[in-house]
Amino acid sequence: MLDIVARHPSTARFIATKLARRLVSDTPPKTLVDRAAKTFLQTDGDLRAVVQTIVTSPEFFSPTAMRAKIKSPFEFIVSALRATDANVVDSAPIVGTIAQLGEPLYFCLPPTGYPDRADAWVNTGVLFSRMNIASSLASNNLNGVKIDLAALGHGSPAAARDRVIAQTLVDLSPATRATLEKLMTSQPTPTPAQSLAVVLGAPDFQRR
């Protein structure tokens, strides 16, 4: 019975859709799903071949797929720590922070796992929480974590912000760039931590 289910066209389409949604966009193109499902059937369920079909497809490299996916809470926290070269001295508070954002590690009740669509992670309350966490991290007020702005920017705190932008964002949106420029010309002059927090909390940084 398992062999029959594994080789059924509906199984191929279901898995192809899940992988394309994970790797390309929340609403993957039908042409890509069809191609990936065909590979699944032709290779007797070889997931490596299915993934290769997806990541070498024109749809994967299309402009519409660029940063189309929203980071999950786990991805947001980890990417922020990596971008700032953070030193995690105690991981327990970080695990708690991820849980506060709605993704407690290894505690998903449904066997299907946590959602992989933006509507599960994006709402006003969640984005506000992410901005607060970004501010806490940049200001060294996030428990269990320490960052060195001066070292990150090789002695220049302002360069630290630019390095984070260069490492994590292909390009800032006009809205985010305008917000940063407005911040930098405001009075009193913002601290390096404040400008870095704007980058980490920006909509651009929420995408992967």
Provide the strand spans (E) within the chain: 87-88, 145-146
Q: What is the pTM of this model?
A: 0.83
Residue 165, classified by CB atoms within 10 Å of its CB into exposed (0-12), middle (13-18) or buried (19+), is buried
Residues 163-188: tens digit of each pLDDT: 777 777 656 778 877 877 777 777 67
Residues 48-97: tens digit of each pLDDT: 999 999 999 999 999 989 888 999 999 999 999 998 889 999 999 999 99
Whether 200 contacts 137, CB under 8 Å: yes
Domain boundary pick from 65, 90, 117: 65
Structural domains of the chain, count: 2
Higher pLDDT, 174 or 143: 143
Query: What amino acid is encoded at 83 in this protein?
Result: A
Same domain assignment for residues 61 and 77: no
What radius of gyration, in Å, describes the C-alpha atoms of the chain?
Answer: 20
Same domain assignment for residues 147 and 184: yes
Domain that holds residue 19: 2-65
Same domain assignment for residues 59 and 77: no
